[in-house]
Amino acid sequence: MVATYDLDSLCINTIRGLCMDMVEQAKSGHPGTPMDIAPMAYTLWQRFLRFDPSDPIWPNRDRFVLSEGHASTLLWSLLHLSATSSVEPDYEVLGSPAVSIEDLKTFRELGSHCPGHPEYRWTSGVEATTGPLGQGVAMSVGMAMAQRWLAARFNRDDFAVFDFNVYALAGDGCMMEGVASEAASLAAHQGLSNLCWIYDCNRVTIEGHIDITFTEDVAARFLAYGWNVVTVADANDSELISRALHSFEAENERPTLIIVHSHIGYGSPVEDTPQAHGEPFGVEGVKLTKRFFGLPEDERFHIPDEVYECFERGVGTRGHQARTTWEAMFASYREAYPDLADEIERIERRELPDGWDAALPEFPADAKGLASRDSSGQTLNVLAQSVPWLLGGAADLSPSTLTRLLFEGAGDLQKSSPGGRNIHFGVREHASAAVANGMSLVKLRSFWSGFFIFSDYARPAIRLSALMEIPVVHVFTHDSIGVGQDGPTHQPVEQLASLRAMPGILVFRPADANEVVETWRTVLALKREPAVIVLSRQALPTLDRSNMAPASLVKRGAYVLRDVENGRPDVLLLATGSEVHLALHARDELAAEGIGARVVSMPCWELFEQQPREYRDEVLPPSVRARVAVEQASSFGWDRYVGDRGVVVGMHTFGASAPLKELQTKFGFTVASVAHAARETLAANRGAS
């Protein structure tokens, strides 16, 4: 029989061997980092992590986020050795392995469940898609905030329904990235004592030893934030690691940073170089390293039976006991609090309450109208009262984005009030989006907001929400040069085109208050797509729908808002947002000249592209080639709708600092300009025919 200490060493070294073999087989990847931090990860999983491999999605499991995603072989080894089960997209546990031995052998190959970096939804047991450094730790802050919110809403005496912890494994690169600093500051302010970041301090990045770039005192920085900081001097000392994790468990006021001093390929005869960090060791290097660790040097993917058995007795048994105990408790909870239990089950299935949209407003026609940020704020407040787990806030801009929840009981989410619905993210756009992602990963319906121009600060996290297929709502106001005298630094031009280019995300720019309502109705019903809602600061008339198409057609992405009186249109006027109103006025001017113009509102290109070809051709008849698109943004992308004979009235430069009406005249966003463009394209098409 193998002694416990020796068995632990065998398990750790087996993980190291698998990491080397995966990278060597793929001839690609990062072997050093997963090898140096293997003892820390093994100790966490075997002694502390409440995670049931047979049901990797039970709601109260601890979350483990591999923020240094380049060390993915470490996670693949842990998921395989623990026999973690796969889960289907509808959240059913299948029982088949999430990571098979064949997956390990096809690391980084097409179709393998062991991709180069962890991918949420693709591999069960992955809590977040990571790889861009700093994103994982930032999302972990959202997860920890979500746990505290869930506990505040649902826990009752003798019913600790939600008390899970969140662990994130970070590297030197994560500590350098600004998003991690933003998130760490927010975590300390929130007092997230359920959050533990483990900093793998191996002092090596791709370019070499980090002394060439990074000489700050990380411990002092986090102490200044207000974190509990613990140091483990030797990454191979499991007892020191356990003490550090016990320190985290005992902390009740602050998040914890455990700094683990490690060495790339610790103990390996392979030289500590950037190549050892970012490339395979080579056949001989692998053999030498395996010999050093007492592993069979000529065998690949060698896993002794006792290693599987050890994981089954460790994380497997402890996780199974924790889950079954929780499920028995939840059965009693369901009897005592059936309504709350129903909410929890709906949250887990990403479902909404019955009748959640019944109270949505319908705005009367109004020539003066109101800004779409105003109608959005009103709509959001109605929805949030119907969907108790809809929460969010702004990056310090809620008085401008109007995303504050104002109804009685909404409250602020703070350290002393973790059940509040309004989140003050501070001037931290990147972290705001990342934290919203983390909350969504725990199945809450999260939103955040800011000025549209500052979506650039948050873009990496917005991209990850699309890649992970999670329904975060990114709300942006001040949508165009309509910002006026704030000038080009605050006037978004290329942002719409940029976000439309991103796969898997829906970008909405509604034209009036009722399109805003229908946008929110569409967005909140989504289960797997994030959305961007782009709103105006200036007032937009509320359209009289008695002689126009209903706003409910927003769900189709684009629709014929107002058609010609009789027969086939001569020209199509396509627009979004405030420019829809320009198109309507231009239509009337053209009609007086005997030109029949159809106005098409296109609030969401992505939804329109999902419609059947028949519908798209009905809205944009291929035979009508005289087309004008109008949008106060870059013209990039509109050619797909106007074709080579159409005209785009858009932005071709940055904006300028001036009153709105002067800007509209300067850049051609007037009724006269749109009508002129229509005549121009109509004449060109008649000449071409």
Place of tokens 């106060």: 632
CA separation (Å) from 373 to 314, 394, 447? 52, 13, 14
CA dihedral 207, 208, 212, 217 (to 10 degrees): 110
Measured distance CA(600)–CA(576) in Å, rounded: 9
Q: At what angle do helices 135-154 and 455-468 cross, to 10 degrees?
A: 70
Any idea what DSSP says for residue 601? E
> How far is Cα 206 from Cα 172, in angstroms, rounded to an integer?
11
Q: What is the CB neighbour count within 10 angstroms for residue 274?
A: 15
Q: How confident is the model at residue 278, as a pLDDT?
A: 57
Q: What is the DSSP letter of 556?
A: G
Give the span between the Cα atoms of 306 and 290, in whole angstroms: 18
Structure tokens at 218: 């990380």
**483 touches 429 (CB < 8 A):** no
Q: Which two tokens stand for residue 536?
A: 């105006």
Domain 366-541 in the same topology as domain 4-324: yes
Measured in degrees and rounded to the nearest 5, phi and psi for residue 405 equal -85, 120
Topology (CATH level 3) of domain 366-541: Rossmann fold (3.40.50)
Angle at 491 between CA 656 and CA 180, to 5 degrees: 135
Tokens of 252: 């009740």
pLDDT computed for residue 264 by the predictor:
64
CATH superfamily name and code, 4-324: Thiamin diphosphate (ThDP)-binding fold, Pyr/PP domains (3.40.50.970)
- In this structure, CATH architecture of domain 555-688: 3-Layer(aba) Sandwich (3.40)
Tallying the residues shown for the chain, one arrives at 689
Amino acid at 218: V
Q: Is residue 455 a contact partner of residue 402, using CB atoms and an 8 Å limit?
A: no
Catalytic residues: 429
Task: Extract the tokens encoding 661.
Answer: 């009406």
Residue-level pLDDT at 5: 52
How many angstroms separate the first and last alpha carbons of the chain? 89
Q: Which residues lie below 8 Å from residue 537, measured CB to CB, with a gap of 6+?
A: 371, 373, 400, 477, 478, 479, 482, 483
- Rg of the chain on CA atoms, in Å: 28
Q: Averaged in consecutive runs of 10 residues, what is the pLDDT profile of the chain (689 residues)?
A: 68 96 91 91 97 97 96 97 91 86 96 95 96 97 98 97 98 95 98 97 79 91 98 93 97 97 58 51 86 89 96 97 97 98 97 97 97 98 98 96 96 97 97 98 98 97 98 97 87 96 98 98 97 97 97 98 92 98 97 96 98 98 97 97 95 92 92 96 82
Instruction: Return the amino acid letter for 629.
Output: A
**Strand duo 559-562 + 597-601: pairing:** antiparallel
651 membership: H or E segment, kind and range: strand 647-651
Strand extents, DSSP E, 373-444: 390-394, 422-424
Query: Per-domain residue ranges for the chain?
Result: 4-324, 366-541, 555-688
CA distance 480 to 599: 21
Predicted pLDDT at 365: 97
Q: In this structure, is the dihedral angle defined by the CA atoms of residues 413, 419, 422 and 425, taken in order, positive or negative? A: positive
Q: What span, in angstroms and rounded, lies between the C-alpha atoms of 143 and 441? A: 7
Contacts (Cβ under 8 Å, ≥6 apart) of 293: 13, 16, 17, 267
List phi, psi (to 5°) of 12: -60, -45
- Whole-angstrom Cα distance, residue 40 to residue 50? 16
- In the prediction, which pLDDT does 346 show? 97
User: Inter-axis angle of helices 338-348 and 135-154, to 10 degrees?
Assistant: 160
Report the pLDDT value the prediction gives residue 3, as an integer from 0 to 100. Answer: 41
φ/ψ (deg, to 5) at 586: -65, -35
Q: Angle at the Cα of 445 (from 190 to 319), degrees rounded to 5? A: 75
